[in-house]
């Protein structure tokens, strides 16, 4: 596969990452016949104040066609970039995407780093009905880096052409190969080979980062050196997230999140969320993990002790914990924690609460932390791309597209190990060991069950990952921590400092 059409000097296509890992159903976009493709590029020269600096910049939204080896158009990728003017090749470039897989980059563009952001409630309330104000975003990173947002195939306005086999683009390696090709072409077309380069995303976008860095730096020829990886709401080790019978680590990883949520909603007492989280970390990796691994050999006295401490940390009753055999799935927790108030809590952000049709079930009807924000983001990206930047299309913007996830190839290995333990963190370790200038930024929300912070910590402290070049930052919100005003500003400051520290 190669990229068949030169695309504009600046690109993007707006997770939480954000985007959540569970894709929702959406209307399938209409595939275009290859002969119908007439790639468009739209530019606007704009100004704004970012990080306290007045910046003139060029916004470019454009289509790039990826082709097969015989030149047949296979995929059309829409990207949007914001480049300071006049152009300065010495400036860093930050390549950004969201997750899903299937999520458009609307979340990070219109919520965190783009020059405009959508205004939604900062205190975990529903975003309600339109209009949703589109505001200047002083927290954009344009003062320290040019920004290139990428919507991979099947996300945003990007799509596969009629007759293209989804297996060529929808998968761990397939997706990473396409994104890496887009990045290489942008660098080449814009004369930025020697610019400092940063790569990152949210949610599955962190998984994509591990795969893309292996594509960019893992080969022998045509390597693209990177200065930093920026991981927001990290998911690298998938085996630790699925609470299937026998997989005890899934319960260990989510326990600190349960303690944080219980603290936030007044179900447990502690000096601070940081304090209760630290207690839960120590208990989770110590007595709790030991008890789970003993299985049916766990002595009754030890079981009683663990059950009592688990109740204290999570706010759940000991009777309930006993009936669950000490193993409470996250979905059960969303329903059980505030059952006495007739409320459920959010998966992406457990600060959010919702009301189900009734209070009897064991899992919520829906995620209040997703339906509480999605309408505002969808309105914002369509308004910005179509009305301000002038992008013309009859396709719907896929903020959470179902098509990629329906076909996704999650296998890294072949043959007997095709369905082996899925952990992409070793790719980050390899890249850091082979590039002494590569650093990794990790940003995690305390109230994020989709990509738990303890899971990120455990996946990145394994053997082979240089610990002196990995830095963690924590936020008082969930998966999309930038929906909270204070944490959007903090995230911006933290990443700005990370880029400047090179």
* 255 in the same domain as 235: no
The rounded distance, in Å, linking the Cα atoms of 370 and 350 is 11
Is residue 319 assigned to a domain? yes
- Residues 77, 151: one domain? yes
Predicted local confidence at residue 26, as pLDDT:
37
CB of 348 closer than 8 Å to CB of 16: yes
Q: Are residues 233 and 262 in the same domain?
A: no
Does residue 126 lie in a domain region? Answer: yes
Given its phi and psi angles, is residue 72 left (phi above 0), alpha (psi -120 to 50 degrees) or beta? beta
Q: Is the per-residue pLDDT at 38 higher than 80?
A: no
Asked whether residue 446 is assigned to any structural domain, the reply reads yes
Task: Report the mean per-residue pLDDT for the chain.
Answer: 90
Q: Which of 158, 223, 130 is nearest to 14 (CA)?
A: 158
On whether both 233 and 165 belong to a single domain, the answer is: yes
Q: Which residue has the tokens 């069950």?
A: 449
For the chain, how many helices (H) and strands (E)?
Answer: 15, 15
User: What is the pairing mode between strands 197-203 and 93-97?
Assistant: parallel
User: What is the mean predicted confidence (pLDDT) over 222-240?
Assistant: 93
- Tokens in use for 160? 């596969």
CB 299 within 8 A of CB 313: no
Task: Quote the domain boundaries for residue 305.
Answer: 243-371
pLDDT digits (tens, 9 = 90+) for 51-61: 999 999 999 99
Per-residue pLDDT tens for 389-444?
A: 999 999 999 998 888 989 999 988 766 666 668 899 999 999 999 999 999 999 99
Do 453 and 485 share a domain, yes or no?
Answer: yes
Q: Look up tokens 């890992």; give the residue.
A: 21
pLDDT in tens, 166-192: 999 999 999 999 999 999 999 999 999
**Which of 491, 441, 500 lies closest to 107, judged by CA?**
491
Asked if residues 94 and 109 have their Cβ atoms less than 8 Å apart, the reply is no
Q: How far apart are the first and last CA of the chain?
A: 34
The verdict on 216 and 298 lying in the same domain is no
The total number of structural domains that make up the chain: 2
416 within a domain of the structure (yes/no): no
- List, for residues 472-483, the tens digit of each pLDDT value: 999 999 999 999
pLDDT of the residue at 120? 83
Q: What is the pTM of this model?
A: 0.90
Do both 25 and 66 map to the same domain? Answer: yes
Is residue 222 included in any domain, yes or no?
yes
The CATH code of the domain that includes 464 is 3.40.50.1820
Tokens of 214: 């292996």
How much is the pLDDT for 11? 30
DSSP 409: B
Domain assignment present for 306: yes
DSSP string, 328-375: --HHHHHHHTTGGGT-EE-SS-TT-EE--S-S--SS-SS-HHHHTTHH
Higher-confidence residue: 185 or 128? 185
User: Could you give the dihedral angle defined by the CA atoms of residues 180, 185, 188 and 194, in that order, rounded to the nearest 10 degrees?
Assistant: -20
In a domain, 450, yes or no: yes
**H helices of 249-352, where?**
249-264, 273-283, 289-294, 300-314, 318-323, 330-336
User: pLDDT tens digits, residue range 155-165?
Assistant: 999 999 999 99
Domain identity same for 430 and 402: yes
Please tell me the least confidently modeled range out of 14-18, 129-133, 243-247, 249-253. 14-18
- Same domain? For 263 and 127 the reply is no
pLDDT of residue 417: 62
| Least confident range of 41-50, 193-202, 369-378 | 369-378
Q: Examine the domain organization and report whether 165 and 248 are in the same domain.
A: no
pLDDT attached to residue 123: 82
Phi/psi-derived region of residue 69, left when phi > 0, alpha when psi is between -120 and 50, beta in every other case: alpha
75 falls in which pLDDT band (50, 70, 90)?
A: very high
- Residue closest to 105 by CA, chosen among 145, 144, 135, 78: 78
Helix (H) or strand (E) holding 473: strand 470-475
191 and 82 assigned to the same domain:
yes
pLDDT, average across residues 340-361: 94
* 53 falls within a domain: yes
pLDDT value at 6 more than 80: no
Residues 445, 328 within the same domain: no
* SS3 at position 232: strand
Peptide bond into 361 cis (omega under 30): no
């Amino acid at each position: 596969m190669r990229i068949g059409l030169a695309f504009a000097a600046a690109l993007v296509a707006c997770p939480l990452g954000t985007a959540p890992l569970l894709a929702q159903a959406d209307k399938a976009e209409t595939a275009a016949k290859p002969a119908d493709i007439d790639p468009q590029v739209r530019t606007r020269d704009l100004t704004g104040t970012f990080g306290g600096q007045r910046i003139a910049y060029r916004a470019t939204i454009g289509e790039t066609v990826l082709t097969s080896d015989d030149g047949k158009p296979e995929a059309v990728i829409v990207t949007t970039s914001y480049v300071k003017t006049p152009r300065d090749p010495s400036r860093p470039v930050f390549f950004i995407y969201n997750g899903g897989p299937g999520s458009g980059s609307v979340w990070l563009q219109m919520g965190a780093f783009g020059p405009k952001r959508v205004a939604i409630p900062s205190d975990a309330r529903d975003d309600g009905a339109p209009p949703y104000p589109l505001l200047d975003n002083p927290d954009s990173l344009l003062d320290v880096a040019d920004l290139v947002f990428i919507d991979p195939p099947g996300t945003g306005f990007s799509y596969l052409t009629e007759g293209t086999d989804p297996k060529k683009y929808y998968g761990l390696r397939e997706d990473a190969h396409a994104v890496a090709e887009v990045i290489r072409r942008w660098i080449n077309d814009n004369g930025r080979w020697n610019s400092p380069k940063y790569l990152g995303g949210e949610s599955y976008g962190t998984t994509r980062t591990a795969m893309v860095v292996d594509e960019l730096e893992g080969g022998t020829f045509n390597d693209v050196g990177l200065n930093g990886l920026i991981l927001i709401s990290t998911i690298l080790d998938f085996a630790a997230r699925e609470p299937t019978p026998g997989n005890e680590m899934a319960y260990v990883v989510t326990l600190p999140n349960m303690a944080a949520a219980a603290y936030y909603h007044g179900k447990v007492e502690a000096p601070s969320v940081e304090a209760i989280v630290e207690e839960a970390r120590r208990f989770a990796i110590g007595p709790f993990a030991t008890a789970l691994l003993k299985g049916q050999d766990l002595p009754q006295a030890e079981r009683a002790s663990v059950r009592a401490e688990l109740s204290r940390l999570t706010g759940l009753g000991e009777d309930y914990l006993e009936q669950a055999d000490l193993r409470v799935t996250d979905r059960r927790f969303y329903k059980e924690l505030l059952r006495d108030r007739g409320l459920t809590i959010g998966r992406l952000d457990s600060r959010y609460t919702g009301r189900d049709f009734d209070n009897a079930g064991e899992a919520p009807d829906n995620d209040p932390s997703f339906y509480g924000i999605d309408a505002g983001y969808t309105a914002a990206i369509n308004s910005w791309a179509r009305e301000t930047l002038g992008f013309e299309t009859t396709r719907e913007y896929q903020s959470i597209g179902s098509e990629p996830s329906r076909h996704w190839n999650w296998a890294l290995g072949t043959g007997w190990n095709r369905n082996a333990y899925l952990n992409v963190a070793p790719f980050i370790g390899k890249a850091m060991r082979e590039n002494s200038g590569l650093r990794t930024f990790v940003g995690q929300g305390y109230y994020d069950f989709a990509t738990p912070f303890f899971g990120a910590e455990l996946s990145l402290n394994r053997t082979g990952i240089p610990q002196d070049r990995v830095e963690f930052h924590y936020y008082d919100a969930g998966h999309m921590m930038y929906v909270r005003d204070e944490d959007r500003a903090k995230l911006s400051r933290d990443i700005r400092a990370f880029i400047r520290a090179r």
